[in-house]
């Protein structure tokens, strides 16, 4: 293990604490959280993926979007390896036309391409309690993901958000994913997973849905032990 990865304060720049007061506990006070993040870093380091380029992105990020999206990549890679028993073989894996996805992996003898997206609410001042609509955020990131996915392969899009109402708790947004899958507009996406958020108690929670209209169907058994997305009647 590269000893330069410890302590994790080298990764967690305190500038974020002044911008997001609610992050003080998970980023600074909660040692359990730091232990988990160190697991992510060790996983990437052992794979040879935690190069100076990625470390520089984490340490020198100037926006919450760039920082949190990279943290989500670390968490997703570790999650699919340790919690879903994927064999993760590639990071920033090429697909087509100079595009790539976060990971290439294999489970139950099937190759999978995994793209991680981070829906965000950047201007929290505009939020009014009781009002929310995450659907546009979902459509936006799924459109971007579809552009990066291979044309005829098994694929998973991971949504790991920082929204006023987390996707894990938003049944309307979850139902929107089922509505999307009732059409053929997103046939390159085999499945969608909602993977937790930055807070320790939620970081490994996951909900999933498979797309019956996908070009490549995937076995729902790979998500055994985790619940499906909420589906309204």
- pLDDT tens digits, residue range 91-144? 999 999 899 999 999 999 999 999 999 998 876 544 444 445 788 889 999 999
Evaluate if residue 1 carries a pLDDT over 50.
no
pLDDT averaged over every residue in the chain: 84
What integer is the mean pLDDT of 76-104? 94
Long-range pairs of 99-105 with CB within 8 A, sequence gap ≥ 24:
99/147, 99/148, 100/148, 101/148, 101/149, 101/155, 102/73, 102/76, 102/77, 102/158, 103/76, 103/77, 105/80, 105/81
What integer is the mean pLDDT of 204-221? 96
What integer is the mean pLDDT of 1-15? 50
Rounded to whole angstroms, the Cα distance separating 198 from 148 reads: 25
Structure token digits, residue 180: 């999307």
Lowest mean pLDDT: which of 24-33, 120-129, 208-217? 120-129
Would you say 210 and 217 are in contact if contact means Cβ atoms under 8 Å apart? yes
Give pLDDT tens digits for 34-73. 788 888 888 988 898 887 667 777 777 777 788 788 889 9
Share of the chain above pLDDT 70, in %: 81
Evaluate if residue 192 carries a pLDDT over 90.
yes
């Amino acid at each position: 293990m590269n000893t330069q990865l410890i302590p994790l304060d080298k990764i967690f720049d305190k500038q974020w604490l002044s911008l997001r007061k609610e992050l003080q506990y998970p980023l600074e006070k909660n040692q359990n959280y730091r232990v988990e993040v160190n697991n992510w870093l060790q996983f990437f380091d052992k794979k040879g993926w935690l190069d100076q380029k990625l470390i520089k992105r984490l340490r020198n990020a100037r926006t919450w979007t760039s920082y949190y999206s990279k943290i989500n990549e670390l968490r997703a890679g570790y999650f699919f390896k340790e919690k879903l028993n994927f064999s993760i073989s590639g990071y920033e894996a090429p697909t087509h036309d100079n595009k790539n996805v976060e990971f290439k992996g294999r489970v139950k003898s099937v190759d999978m391409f995994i793209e991680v997206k981070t829906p965000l609410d950047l201007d929290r001042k505009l939020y009014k309690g009781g009002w929310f609509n995450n659907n546009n955020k979902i459509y936006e990131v799924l459109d971007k993901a579809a552009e990066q996915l291979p044309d005829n392969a098994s694929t998973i899009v991971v949504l790991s958000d920082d929204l006023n109402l987390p996707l894990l708790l938003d049944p309307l947004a979850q139902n929107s994913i089922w509505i999307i899958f009732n059409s053929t507009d997103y046939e390159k996406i085999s499945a969608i997973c909602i993977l937790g958020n930055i807070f320790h108690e939620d970081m490994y929670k996951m909900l999933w849905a498979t797309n019956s209209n996908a070009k490549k169907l995937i076995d729902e058994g790979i998500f055994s032990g985790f619940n499906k997305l909420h589906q309204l009647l």
